Amino acid sequence: MSIINKEIPEFSVQAFHNGEFKTITSEDVKGSWAIFIFYPADFTFVCPTELEDMQKHYGEFQKLGVEVYSVSTDSHFVHKAWHDTSDAISTITYPMLADPTGTITRGFDIMIEADHQALRGTYLINPEGVVKVAEIHDLGIGRSAKDMVRKVKAAQYVANHDGEVCPAAWEEGEATLTPSLDLVGKI
């Protein structure tokens, strides 16, 4: 079954955020747009490049009213240690959620059970806590935060413009479509 249009799982976890440990719950996520970026493990290779790329676009996400949450099955203590020792991770200012029990990772159905690690999953959640975009990569394939910015803008446009849809590779300001009988077979 697809996770699209499903509510995020309930959770309450510890996070490392701006030099502090905090509790973050599924209820904290609701009320604004959110991105969950799951990654296999701290102190690895592709993961820091992805999280650093997300940080480079974090200001743009914030302007769009989107909070970013990175998630791995490591503990919040490991997140802090990684933040303290990695040049790439030391730049991160969004919450790093610890999911050592795998509750969130299993809730998004991306747990690699044999390794107790997540696949590379990126999810866009609307303010009601419902998944609107899901993208899952194999472990060796890194993601692009820049393309996620485009997807956020498209999802927000569709949410605010009932009856309109965004065509492939749509960018903000470009024409959208209004599905109707008149368009059938003409695109």
> What is the gyration radius of the CA atoms in the chain, in angstroms?
17
d(CA 8, CA 34): 11
d(CA 121, CA 119): 6
d(CA 178, CA 152): 19
Answer yes or no: are the C-beta atoms of 107 and 118 closer than 8 Å.
Answer: no
Which helix (H) or strand (E) segment holds residue 25: the answer is strand 20-25
Read off φ and ψ for residue 135, nearest 5 degrees: -135, 125
Hunting for tokens 């999802």 — which residue is that?
155
Q: How many CB atoms lie within 10 A of CB 69?
A: 22
Catalytic residues: 47
| b/e burial code for range 52-68 (CB count within 10 A of at least 16 → b) | bbbbebbeebeeeebbb
